[in-house]
Structure 1
Amino acid sequence: MTARTRIGLVLGAWGLFYCLYRAYYALGGTVGMFGTPVSHQQWLLVNAIGAGILLVAAVLPVATLPLWRHPFGRRGMEVLCWVAAVGCVMHALVDAIQRGLSLAGLLYLELPFWTAVDRRMADLQDLLFNEPWFLAEGLLWAWLAVTGLSAGTARRRWLISAGTAVAVLTVIGMLSATGVIGTFIVG
């Protein structure tokens, strides 16, 4: 089994793990909830949609492994890996920073979907569970890409462009979250 196949399988399992977490809430589970949602039906729907998206995220890295063997497919996979890596890592960094600032009392996060909420528990759950998942997911997509790129210039270019995009989008996300610029939402 190649390193790329192993990474694809780990990505699939990692996505399935988070999918099951969302599916639990979509099916009415309540353990670990940090508040009372404004609409229970909306809570179920949001988690069902999230579980569906995460199921795609679990299947995609495994289903697309054969594409790496073809030049056109390889290019498509480099782009897919770049988008997934940048999006997930940026999401993890922006949200983790926001939750850290919230815990420190330096940022008030609007939580409009909740009628009652334990803000500290919400911040901790996001900081210790949700965002580490996104960070690991993004890093795994980057690792998958690196295994498909030839060593040298192509690999460096991919990593530098992804790192730059993460840095720029994280700064924009934090400027937006702190109200310095208008609302700017990516993903």
Structure 2
Amino acid sequence: MHKISGEPSNLNAFERFAKKSVWPAYAGCVWALLYAVFVRFLEATGGGIISTYGQMEDPEALAMASYIAGVAIMFCGFCLLGLVRPWGKKVPQWIPLIGEKNIHPLVLLTPTLLGTAFLLAHAVSGMLTKAFFLAGIITIDFPGWAELNTRSLALWDLFFYEPWFLIMGLLAGLSAAHYALTSAIRLTVIKRFTIYYLLFVLLLIILFVVGTIVKF
């Protein structure tokens, strides 16, 4: 894991916590692995809870999509480890030609932060819209289903599917914060960027909610 030498006195409580914490990356990796295996890969075999809520128009397409999603989620979970392991800052020596070369922080931070923004926006907007749907405030289209118990699927999304996105987003965000705070990026840059980033996530949430409610 990254060694932390000294701790600037101008770090706030969250920054001190994030700089010291490597566990979110490991927890995120395990969280991704569990979801990929017990949800996505299970759905790919035709099982899973979601299959009990109705009949898909194209079950084979769902199976393939679930399999691809599972592989992608496992890969992303593994990549989180790079945010707290030495090979996330310097290319391992055994790799030909580029071994021992430093890795620019943005190489890992950019995809991680974009993924985190998507995860958080997906989770918050999904929970809001599903809650509104269950309360009878809005209607939601569920494309791809020939038959569907919409209430059961909405409950699944609200209490399992979206919370997974939320937890995964928080773990990924904490991992990214740790990586940034232990990198060569100046603290003033990190603080300024954090404000813009949170505004970006908020905007993304609004867009996701509007996109779900409004039929373009």
RMSD between aligned residues: 2.2
Deviation at 1:128, TM superposition (A): 0.7
Structure with the higher helix share, 1 or 2? 1
Deviation at 1:4, TM superposition (A): 5.7
Q: How does 1:107-122 map to 2 (within 5 A)?
A: 107-122=138-153
Which portions of structure 1, spanning 4 or more consecutive aligned residues, are displaced by more than 4 angstroms? 1-5
* Distance in 2, Cα, partners of 1:31 & 1:147: 35
Specify every segment of 5 or more residues in structure 2 that has no aligned partner in the other structure, as ranges.
3-19, 91-100
Q: How far 1:111 sits from its partner (Å)?
A: 1.3
| Alignment gaps of 5+ in structure 1 | 183-187
For 1:4 and 1:77, locate their aligned partners in 2 and report how far apart those are by CA, in whole Å: 18
The aligned runs of 1:1-187 (5 Å cut-off) are 3=20, 5-20=22-37, 21-32=39-50, 33-63=52-82, 65=85, 66-69=87-90, 72-150=103-181, 152-179=187-214, 182=216
> Aligned in 2, Cα 1:46/1:149: closer, same or farther, shift over 3 Å?
closer
Question: How far apart are residue 161 of structure 1 and its match?
Answer: 2.2
Q: What TM-score, normalized to structure 1?
A: 0.85
More displaced 10-residue stretch of structure 1: 157-166 or 69-78: 69-78
Query: How far does residue 12 in structure 1 lie from its aligned partner after superposition?
Result: 0.9
Aligned residues: 181
SS in 2 for 1:149: helix
TM-score, structure 2 normalization: 0.74
